[in-house]
Amino acid sequence: MAGIIILASTAPAPQQAPGLFTGGIIPMLLIFAVFYFMILYPQSKQRRQHEAFLKGIKKGDEVLTQSGIIGKIHSIKDGEVTLELGRDHKVRFLTRTLAGPYTPAKAEQKEEK
């Protein structure tokens, strides 16, 4: 049995598993933070501004609906608003469909500059 040579091989050192914080949680937290500040926060800010607008509307305000209709508020009641679109033309809308106050574009100022 002298002819049998046993070769000793060295096993590679075991790889250490990545730590809990470096491997998974920190990158996920960073992705969530970027997602929050780029998408969720601006949407919630816009929603708060829209709710403040809806609470502050009153009769006589000129508003723009989400469908692009411009009108003057004739009456407000129970989640509905009646817009006066012209003489003897009144249309009822849900208050949540109002996009915001109507501010006409100042074409004259743009032409002067």
39 falls within a domain: yes
Q: How many domains does the chain have?
A: 2
Q: Is the same domain home to 97 and 67?
A: yes
Comparing 2-6, 15-19, 30-34, which segment has the lowest mean pLDDT?
Answer: 2-6
Is 112 part of a structural domain of the chain? Answer: no
Residue 68: domain span: 58-103
One-letter amino acid at 85 equals: L
Dump pLDDT digits (tens) for 22-50.
Answer: 667 888 899 999 998 898 889 999 999 99
52/67 same-domain check: no
Q: Quick one: three-class SS letters along the chain?
A: CCCCCCCCCCCCCCCCCCCHHHHHHHHHHHHHHHHHHHHHHHHHHHHHHHHHHHHHCCCCCEEEECCCCEEEEEEEECCEEEEEEECCEEEEEEHHHEEEECCCCCHHHHHHC
Confidence bin at 5 (pLDDT 50/70/90): low
Position 79 in a domain: yes
Tell whether the model's pLDDT for residue 12 goes beyond 70: no
Q: Which has more pLDDT, 91 or 16?
A: 91
Arithmetic mean of pLDDT, 83-88 = 91
**Pair 66, 76 in one domain:** yes
What pLDDT shows up at residue 104?
Answer: 86
Please indicate, yes or no, whether residues 79 and 99 belong to a single structural domain of this protein. Answer: yes
43 found inside a domain? yes
